[in-house]
Structures are given as structure tokens and as C-alpha cells.
Structure 1
Amino acid sequence: MIYTVECSFADPNSEAEWNDFYSLEKLPALISVTGFHTSQRFRAISDGCPVYLAIHTIDGLDVLTGDEYRQKGGGNFARWQQHITDWHRNLYSDIGLAPAVSADELLVLCTSGPDPLIQMGLEPLVMQAVALEKFPAHRWLAKLPRRNAQRVANLEGLYFYAPITEQLASARGVSTEQEK
């Protein structure tokens, strides 16, 4: 399943320190939690959406409600909480592992359907919200080579994100339904 966390950050004086904390401490802590398989952070380069996006591949909602998540990965935001705005969390249906987005690519998200992404020559993955906020109910995501971003940057309903980090992957691998 795909777990997304989106937010903006309202204090420019501590934003760099917060980004270091999130990228260098928070993501490695999350990926150490049993049931987390991949984690990657992004920054929006388009308007109309929260500035930051983290996409994780996890086994399911029970991972987020377990003690290990609370102890290792969840809730370490007390110092930053007052500055976090426009915060949203969603759990989406299984699309396999979240795609790793490299430095020469952008992540594109769309809520209006796959057609804009298909017209761009991309292969969208559809995600259906199944838990947490459940909004938007559907999202389509795809990877776009950065060299193509200029010609599609102003398409309405598309949100573009540049990777802040490389995708982290758990050494444990992904369990199958038979192993659960």
C-alpha cells in the first residue's frame, strides 16, 4: 500500500533544519519500522498543493497503528508541529512498490484521471484512497523526465514534485500475502 504525508512549513527560519531532520533522521527511522519498505521525500514545484510530500510503501494500516511505528517512526514532530500546516495523510490501494524518482525526473500527481498523463506519453499508476483522510479518493501518479517538464508545466490539475531525497528501501523486502 502507498502511504502519503503532505504538508507545508510556515517558519522560513527553521525550515532548513526541519528538512534536515525529516530527510536525515525521520525517513531512516521510518524505513527501520517493520512493514515500511520504501520512503522518499519531494518538494512541490507547482502551486496549489502542499509544499512537501513523502511517499512510503507499507504493508497496511496496521503498520501505522502499531507500537513499533509510534516508538521509532511516528510522532517525532513535537518540536516542529507548530510550524507544520496543510497536513494530510492518506493510505492508498496497493500499486506495488512506490516508484523511485531519480534526480533527473519529476513525480507527477493528478486527481482528474489518467488521461492528462497518458497524453503526455506517461504510464500512470492509479491509487484509490482506502484509509486515513481518503481525500482525494483517487490519484494517478507517474514519473516525468525533467527535460520534458517545461512543455507540460502549466497543465491544470497536474502537480509536479522534485525529489528531495533518494528513495530509501528496507533491507527486509516486501512480504507477500502468503507470508502474512
Structure 2
Amino acid sequence: MSQSGLLDRTREAEWDEWYVEHLRIMETVDGIHSARRFKSESEGCPPSLAMYSVEAIAVFEDPYYQKIRGMGEWLPLIDRAFYCRNLFEGMSVAPEVPADRALWVVDRDTPDLVLGDVGFTWLISVGLDRSTPYRGIAVVPPGADEALAHEAGVAVYKPFTP
């Protein structure tokens, strides 16, 4: 997962356009099976999250991946307060998140959060920045209590790309 945000929000439409093409290119890397972007308006969390299904950590050493990875021309405009990349294990592929659902994301030192009937899948950080030991993710239906999520420090992400 790669999380980020722009310093200059007036350029967000351009960045969104760039990101669609970037994800398409990332899916051409052997060992990357899916790439999808989500957006959040949750206070204090990165506004952008890209989630990839990666076959193995060796993907990050592939010369082609090394050539195409990263934010390119956007790097100087990335808000460093939100930028982090983490590799997690705990799922073989990224979950399917239909357009009418949300992805709830929470970072914890231990996999301990329970929010009503929302079942988090706990992922363990195994590479890259390792900004959190555990990340809980849950695909939630429309109408889920976002206020409860925000109170518990959960970021609510909506699908942005198919």
C-alpha cells in the first residue's frame, strides 16, 4: 500500500489523471496482480491510498519495476506528512471493494480493534517503510457508521479507480 497526498490540492485533477495511467503501468510488472486507488476525506489521514496485490517482495527488486515505480514528476508536490509505502502479508490478494462500499483502514501496534460488527482483517507489516506494525482493513457496506470509524481513528477510503 502506498499512501500520499498533495501539497497543492489545486492540482489534484491532474494528479488523479496521472495516477490512473501510473496504476495501469504498474499492473504490467510481473508479480503485480492488481492496482487500485482509493481516496479519503478522513481528518488526519493520507487522502490517497493505492493498494496493490504483489506476488513476492522480489517484485521490488525487478529492474522494470525500479524503472517505473514512484511518483515521478509529482514527487516534489507530495506532502511528506502523508507519504509512506508499506508491504503487508496476511492476504494473498487485495480485497474486492465494490464502488458502493468503503475500505476502512486502521494502523495499530497490536491487532486489537473491534468496531461493532465490522470484521477487520489484520495485516502484518513485512517491508518497505514499515510505518505501522499492523494494519486492519475492512470492506464495509453503504450506510456503515463512519462517525464511529472516525472516533476510533479509522480512515474511511472510497474507491477512486476501478
User: With structure 1 as the length reference, what TM-score do the two structures score?
Assistant: 0.81
Q: Is 1:132 matched up with 2:131?
A: no
Map of 1:175 onto structure 2: none
Contact 1:109 1:142 in 2 (8 A): yes
Aligned residues: 158
Structure 1 gap ranges (5+): 167-180
The percentage of counterpart residues that share the same residue type is 28
Following superposition, which runs of at least 4 residues in structure 1 exceed 4 angstroms of deviation? none
Q: Which has the bigger relative contact order, CA under 8 A and spacing at least 6? A: 1
With 58-67 and 152-161 compared, the bigger mean Cα shift is at 152-161
Structural mapping, 1:1-180, within 5 Å:
4-23=1-20, 25-71=21-67, 73-75=68-70, 77-85=71-79, 86-112=82-108, 113-117=111-115, 119=116, 121-150=117-146, 152-166=148-162
Deviation at 1:140, TM superposition (A): 0.9
SS of the equivalent of 1:89 reads: strand
* Gap change, CA 1:136 and 1:150, over 3 Å in 2: closer
CA distance in 1, matches of 2:96, 2:25: 19
Q: Which amino acid aligns with 2:42?
A: S
Deviation at 1:28, TM superposition (A): 0.6
Please report the RMSD computed on the Cα atoms of aligned residues, expressed in angstroms. Answer: 1.6
SS of the equivalent of 1:100 reads: coil
Contact 1:7 1:88 in 2 (8 A): yes
Deviation at 1:80, TM superposition (A): 1.1
Q: Residue deviations 1:61-83, cap 9 Å, x none?
A: 21012112123x313x3321111
Q: Which amino acid aligns with 1:115?
A: L
CA distance in 2, matches of 1:153, 1:124: 12
Contact 1:114 1:124 in 2 (8 A): no
Structure 2 gap ranges (5+): none
* Gap change, CA 1:151 and 1:80, over 3 Å in 2: closer
